[in-house]
Amino acid sequence: MSTKGDRLWGGGYEEATHPLVARMNASVAYDQVLAREDILGSVAHATMLRDQKILSKDEHVAIVRGLRGILADVEAGSFDWRMEREDVHMNVEATLRDRIGAPAGRLHTARSRNDQVALDERLWLRRKLAEIGAALARLIDVLSQQATLHADWPMPGYTHMQRAQPVTVGHHLLAHAEAIARDAERLLDVQKRVDICPLGSGALAGTTLPIDRQKVADLLGFSRISGNSLDAVADRDHLVEAMAAAALGSVHLSRIGEELVLFTSAEFGFVRLPDAFTTGSSLMPQKKNPDMAELVRGKSGRVIGDLVALLVVLKGLPLAYNKDMQEDKEPLFDALGTWHDCLVATADMLARAQWQKRNLLNALDKGFLLATDLADALVSSGVPFRQAHEQIAELVGELTHNQLTFVKFGAAKIAKRLNLDEAVVRDTLNIQKALKRRDLAGAPHPKRVKVAAKVMGKRGEMLAKLAAKALRPMPVEAILAET
User: Do β-strands 196-197 and 224-225 pair in parallel, antiparallel, or remain unpaired?
Assistant: parallel
3-state helix, strand, coil in the chain (%, to 5): 70, 5, 25
Say whether 160 is catalytic: yes
* Alpha-carbon gap, residue 115 to 225, rounded angstroms: 12
Beta strands in 299-425 (DSSP E): 354-355
Can you list the pairs that 36-39 forms with residues at least 24 positions away whose Cβ atoms lie under 8 Å?
Answer: 36/71, 36/74, 36/75, 37/119, 37/120, 37/121, 37/123, 37/124, 37/127, 38/88, 38/89, 38/92, 38/116, 38/120, 39/67, 39/70, 39/71, 39/74, 39/92, 39/480
Cα four-point dihedral sign 262, 264, 270, 272 = positive
Q: Which amino acid is at 354?
A: Q
Using DSSP's 3-state secondary structure scheme, residue 21 falls into helix
Please tell me whether residue 342 adopts helix, strand or coil conformation: helix
What are the beta bridge partners of residue 167?
A: 155
pLDDT of residue 5: 41
Alpha carbon separation from 187 to 152, 234, 428 (Å, rounded) = 32, 22, 44
Burial 87-99 (b: 16+ CB within 10 A, else e): bbbbbbbbbbbee
Torsions phi, psi of 157, nearest 5?
-95, 150
List the catalytic residue out of 160, 250, 265, 381.
160
- Cis, bond preceding 320 (omega within 30 deg of 0): yes
Distance set, CA 450 to CA 154, 169, 170, 307, 441 (Å): 14, 11, 8, 37, 12
Using alpha carbons, select from 250, 103, 187 the residue that is nearest to residue 468: 187
Output the tens digit of pLDDT for each of the chain's 483 residues: 334 444 555 666 778 888 888 888 889 999 999 999 999 999 999 999 999 999 999 999 999 999 999 999 999 999 999 999 999 999 999 999 999 999 999 999 999 999 999 999 999 999 999 999 999 999 999 999 999 999 999 999 999 999 999 999 999 999 999 999 999 999 999 999 999 999 999 999 999 999 999 999 999 999 999 999 999 999 999 999 999 999 999 999 999 999 999 999 999 999 999 999 988 877 787 778 999 999 999 999 999 999 999 999 999 999 999 999 999 999 999 999 999 999 999 999 999 999 999 999 999 988 899 999 999 999 999 999 999 999 999 999 999 999 999 999 999 999 999 999 999 999 999 999 999 999 999 999 999 999 999 999 999 999 988 888 888 899 999 999 998
pLDDT value at residue 452: 97
Amino acid (1-letter code) at residue 314: L
Answer yes or no: CATH 1.10.40 is held by domain 371-428: yes
Q: Where are the domains of the chain?
A: 4-109, 114-362+455-472, 371-428
Please state, in angstroms and as integers, the Cα–Cα distance from residue 200 to each residue in 53, 109, 238, 252, 326, following that order: 16, 10, 19, 39, 20
Using only C-alpha atoms, what is the Rg of the chain?
30
Q: Which pLDDT score, from 0 to 100, does residue 23 have? A: 84
What are the beta bridge partners of residue 166?
156
Choose the CATH number for 114-362+455-472 among 3.10.20.440, 1.20.200.10, 1.10.8.100, 3.90.1170.40.
1.20.200.10
Q: What is the pTM of this model?
A: 0.93
Instruction: Please answer whether residues 30 and 327 qualify as being in contact, where contact means their C-beta atoms are separated by less than 8 angstroms.
Output: no
* Active-site residue, 18 included: no
CATH architecture of 4-109: Orthogonal Bundle (1.10)
Residue 236 · residue 328 · CB < 8 Å: yes
Of 281, 300, 380, 401, catalytic: 281
